[in-house]
Amino acid sequence: MADTAVDELETFRAETRAWLEENCPPSMRTPMKDDEIVWGGRRGTFKNPDSKVWLDRMGEKGWTAPQWPKKYGGGGLTREQDRVLQEEMRRIRARPPLFSFGLWMFGPALLEFGNEEQKMRFIPDIVKGKIRWCQGYSEPGAGSDLAGLQTRCEDKGDHYLINGQKVWTSYADKADWIFCLVRTDTSVKHEGISFILFDMTSPGVEARPILLISGESPFCETFFTDVKVPKDQLVGKVNGGWEIAKRLLQFERSSISAGGFGGTGGSGILGPEEYAKQHIGTDSEGRILDGDLRGRIADHKMYAKAFNLTVQRQAEQAKAGQAVSHTASILKYGAAKMNQDRHELLIEALGTEGLGWEGEGFDSSAKKVTRQWLRSKGNSIEGGTSEINLNVISKRVLGLKDHQ
Amino acid sequence: MTFLLTEDQEMLRDTAMAFARDELPVTHLRELRDSGANGKDPSTRQKLAELGFFGVIVPDEPGGETFGLVGLGQILEAQGRTLAATPLLQTALIGASVLQLGGSPAQQAEWLPKIAGGETTFALALDESAHFNPLNVATEAERNGQGYTINGEKRYVPDGHHADMLIVVARTFGEPGDRHGLSLFLVPANAKGVSIQELETVDSHGAAHITFTDVTVKEDALIGAADQGADILEPVLDRAAIGQAAEMLGSAQAAFDMTLEYLNNRKQFGQLIGSFQSLQHRAAKMFTELEMTRSCVAAALSAADEGKSDVAELASLAKARAGELVHLVSNECVQMHGGIGMTDVADPGLYMKRARVQEALYGSSSWHRDRYAKLNGY
């Protein structure tokens, strides 16, 4: 890098540091609490008022989407500047101002496939967290076989008419708008799918939360009955939605496996080795008393370490321009196994302390483990089941043949 | 730390792969076995010397550039693919490392060029029981007038049946199990009082039980400071575990490739057996394990070259995971080959036999799992 570029980057760092010091409220520099996560939207709530201040300031600068173009409200930063911004935010332990499917999945896809008018209309509100989006993909008959979706979209001249049902729609009951896969041609499969956007308050839209084994309801069944959608809200070409859908799934899978289904940051949950020490006890050397459990915890931690090293290796190879084939499936499979094993060990190490459900008498972080353990069972189902991922590896990577 | 090879390291890898494929195929091991050579292979040793493989981590000038352990790891991996029996792990890795990490300038000047040129081979004489336990040393080295007198017995010394020099771990203080009191000695294999019992082993590589009876060595045979041998031994054993893991990665890869080819050719019920989902998923899981172990081995080699503080942790990670990998893949290789996998004429059995030796050397998976936990405070 040229010296002037280095100088400019250091100037940017100094300015960014000063701005963050000035504008990031002190309570936004503490570990995130689950009930203070900001998802934004028309009905967005802010349990901690500082989180609204923080979102408004960051959204105004476009730093919720640092690399998106300025004309759509983004930060307009270069990759290097974005890296500096992330470093400076980490330095003061600043919380992410906004969690958003718009930022992670829909926005990148719209920037790639949308027309100018659509980008001007939708992107700025994603950046500022004013509109919360949900994803209308899976249907009762289209899970692993997503392209089998049946939700009908008919051309009625001056508008489209949508009828059908989606399922596993994350936070459909809290979202303002939906990006949705619909069938515009029933005579073909992949080539008959379109990508369309509409307001969840449109007449004929109904979202019903699904109660899960974890006691929580992050997903909905979503019904569409004669929903009228203006024609300028179809993205790309009619029947050209599958390409957009696949691209968006890549954004989704990589955001799932990059986080390895999320750590325990800030939630007050300890590692299984700590719970085992607390609840089982230690020997004279300070080691977990139960040697068998200790071995299984170490085995899991080594798997996790090997997984993280593999993520690093593949990132380094990709950066160097070396071919990395079908890594998403390998990593998605590994991430699900890793997170599920971790939660089984957490529950085991906690003993009866990990079997609480509600009310007094149990540590609140232990109750959180219980819920997360149940939630983790979905990791090998959502975003492509582990079996589908093994199919993909064996056929696409290893070249094994189908039954004749 | 990096997972990428330099251009020089890539060329070295390609040379090593071609050499293993052309000069040391599995049929070569069969020939050695059937002729009763028991892993002793002077002509291969000569070829390895000509290729410069013995000196991969030894610079021409002190402080000069080398291919590093990353480079040596590529060679060991290539040889693991064909189950080759060579003195490289003991000599080019362990012998050179002991001298580099603990040798005096005089010892280094005398021995490193001989290692690099392939003139002298080494073997580390450490274990005294059937399980890796590096502090459990009872062999004694007692001070005499001009040096030390060594008495004791070492078991299953790899390359002990043909190495020129032995690196003997002996106790100069304390009791078996103590970390303090270990010392390392250079002892010629033909020294008076050294008795070598050659072993025929399941992998056809051979090994030796070695007995030391009043073996006398001079003061200059001591490597490093007396009683402080563990300070040298531990990093050497980490490197040995990493090098062994690199070899295992190669063996596992070859056994996997062989299995995959069989799945893509063998038919039953009018179908390729590789089209059965129960076998496809097992193959996919093996592949995932292979890729993850490859990351661990690469990280450990690179960290060792850079002298990172987490080398011990990564060494245990690499050896434990490589042990599990080669165990899984060698078993599946036999199973998926069916009846032919049980025959001596087919190769799966050779991979399984070598796998069990690889698993045992420098710490089993459970030994390293326990150490990993200990290093991380639980």
Per residue in B125-181, pLDDT (tens digit) is: 999 999 999 999 999 999 998 999 999 999 999 999 999 999 999 999 999 999 999
Distance CA B79, CA A169 (A): 52
Q: Does domain B7-120 sit in CATH 1.10.540.10?
A: yes
Between CA A353 and CA A366 the distance in angstroms is 7
Among B260, B292, B317, whose Cβ lies nearest the Cβ of A310? B292
Q: What is the CA radius of gyration of chain A?
A: 23
Q: How confident is the model at residue B91 (pLDDT cuts 50, 70, 90)?
A: very high
**Confidence check: pLDDT of A260 > 60:** no
CA B356 to CA B349: how far, in whole Å?
11
* Mean per-residue pLDDT, A358-381: 92
Question: Shortest CB distance from B3 goes to which of A302, A312, A404?
Answer: A312
pLDDT of A116-126, one tens digit each? 999 999 999 99
Say which CATH topology domain A259-397 has: Butyryl-CoA Dehydrogenase, subunit A; domain 3 (1.20.140)
Show residues of chain B in contact with A404, CB under 8 Å: 270-272, 275
Q: What is the pLDDT of residues A212-252, one digit of tens each?
A: 999 989 899 999 999 999 999 999 999 999 999 988 887 77
Helix (H, G, I), strand (E, B) or coil at B5: coil
- Kindly determine whether residue B299 and residue A309, on different chains, have CB atoms separated by under 8 Å: yes
Q: Which residue of B has its CA nearest to A273?
A: B378
Nearest CA distance, B43 vs chain A (angstrom): 38
HSE, CB side, 13 Å, CA atoms: give it for residue B203.
26
Question: What is the pairing mode between strands B267-268 and B271-272?
Answer: antiparallel
**What number is the average pLDDT over the span A170-194?**
97
Q: Is residue A267 predicted with pLDDT exceeding 70?
A: no
Residue range(s) occupied by CATH 1.10.540 in chain A: 3-99
For residues B280 and A402, give the distance between their C-alpha atoms in angstroms, rounded to a whole number: 10
Tell me how far apart the alpha carbons of residues A234 and A198 are, in angstroms, rounded to a whole number. 9
CA B371 to chain centroid, in Å, comes to 19
The residue of chain B with its CA nearest to that of A290 is B378
The beta-carbon neighbor of A320 closest among B4, B366, B374 is B4
First-to-final CA distance of chain B: 26
- Catalytic status, residue A191: no
Q: Is B284 in contact with A288 (Cβ distance < 8 A)?
A: no
pLDDT score at A262: 45
Interface of A with B (CB under 8 A): 273, 276-277, 286-288, 294-295, 297-299, 301-303, 305-307, 309-310, 312-313, 316-317, 320, 322, 330, 333-334, 387, 389-391, 393-395, 397-404
CB contact, 8 Å: B280 with chain A?
Answer: yes
Mean pLDDT, residues B277-290 taken together: 97
> Is the model's pLDDT at B4 over the cut of 80?
yes
Model pLDDT, residue A4: 74
Inter-axis angle of helices A291-319 and A327-350, to 10 degrees?
A: 160
Whether the CB of B263 is below 8 Å from some CB of chain A: the reply is yes
What are the Cα distances from residue A50, in Å, to A13, A25, A29, A97, A193?
A: 24, 6, 11, 10, 43
pLDDT of residue A259: 47
Judged by DSSP in three states, B61 sits in coil
CB < 8 Å from A in window 170-229 of B = none
Read off the pTM. Answer: 0.86
Residue the block writes with tokens 């089941």: A385
Question: pLDDT tier at B3 (50, 70, 90 boundaries)?
Answer: very high
Which residue among B296, B320, B378 sits closest to A287, beta carbon to beta carbon?
A: B378
Distance from CA of B58 to the nearest CA of A (A): 27
- How many Å apart are CA B264 and CA B246, to the nearest integer? 27
> Which residues touch B229 (CB under 8 Å, ≥6 apart)?
B102, B169, B182, B183, B184, B223
Q: SS3 of B320, please?
A: helix
Q: Three-state SS for A278?
A: helix
- Do residue A404 and residue B270 have CB atoms under 8 angstroms apart? yes
The alpha-carbon gap from A332 to the nearest alpha carbon of chain B, in Å, equals: 11
- pLDDT, residue A143, reads 84
pLDDT band at A255 (very low <50, low <70, confident <90, very high): low
Residue numbers in A near B277 (CB within 8 A): 391
Selecting among A88, A139, A252, A353, the annotated active-site residue is: A252
CB contact (8 A) between residue A309 and residue B295: yes
Q: Is B375 in CB contact (< 8 Å) with chain A?
A: no
Are the beta carbons of A394 and B284 separated by less than 8 Å? yes
Distance from CA of A368 to the nearest CA of B (A): 23
Rounded to a whole number of angstroms, the distance from the CA of A304 to the nearest CA of chain B is 10
Q: Tokens for A355? A: 């079997």
What mean pLDDT is reported for chain A? Answer: 92
User: Residue A400 region, left (φ>0) first, then alpha (ψ -120 to 50), else beta?
Assistant: beta
Domain assignments of chain B as residue spans, ordered by start = 7-120, 124-227, 230-375
Q: What is the pLDDT of residue A189?
A: 95
Q: Per mean pLDDT, which range of A369-383, B340-354, B356-370 is the poorest? A: A369-383
Q: Over pLDDT 90: what percentage of chain A? A: 80
A395 and B280 within 8 Å at the Cβ level: the answer is yes
Shortest distance between the Cα of A243 and any Cα of chain B, in A, equals: 27
Q: Which residues pair with B3 in a beta bridge?
A: none
Q: Does B320 contact chain A (CB < 8 Å)? A: yes
Q: How far is CA A181 from the centre of its chain?
A: 18
Give the mean model confidence (pLDDT) for residues A374-392: 90
The answer on pLDDT for B365 being more than 90 is: yes
Q: Which of A302, A391, A392 would you mutate first to test chain B, the one with the most B CBs within 10 A?
A: A302
- Superfamily of chain region B124-227: Butyryl-CoA Dehydrogenase, subunit A, domain 2 (2.40.110.10)
pLDDT for residue A258 is more than 60: no
Query: Is A310's CB within 8 Å of B291's CB?
Result: yes
For the segment B55-76, the average pLDDT, to the nearest whole number, is 94
ipTM: 0.93
Contact A400 B283 (CB under 8 A): yes
Q: Minimal CA–CA distance to A104: which of A325, A223, A259? A: A259
- The band of A29, judged by pLDDT with boundaries at 50, 70 and 90, is very high
Q: Which CATH number applies to B230-375?
A: 1.20.140.10
A3-99: which CATH topology? Butyryl-Coa Dehydrogenase, subunit A; domain 1 (1.10.540)
From-to residues of CATH 2.40.110.10 in chain A = 133-242
Fold of A133-242: Butyryl-CoA Dehydrogenase, subunit A; domain 2 (2.40.110)
Q: How far apart are CA B137 and CA B129, in angstroms?
A: 9
Buried b (16+ CB within 10 A) or exposed e, A39-71: bbbeebeeebebbbbbbebbbebbbbbbbbeee
Overall average pLDDT of the A2-6 stretch: 72
Per-residue model confidence (pLDDT) at position A326? 63
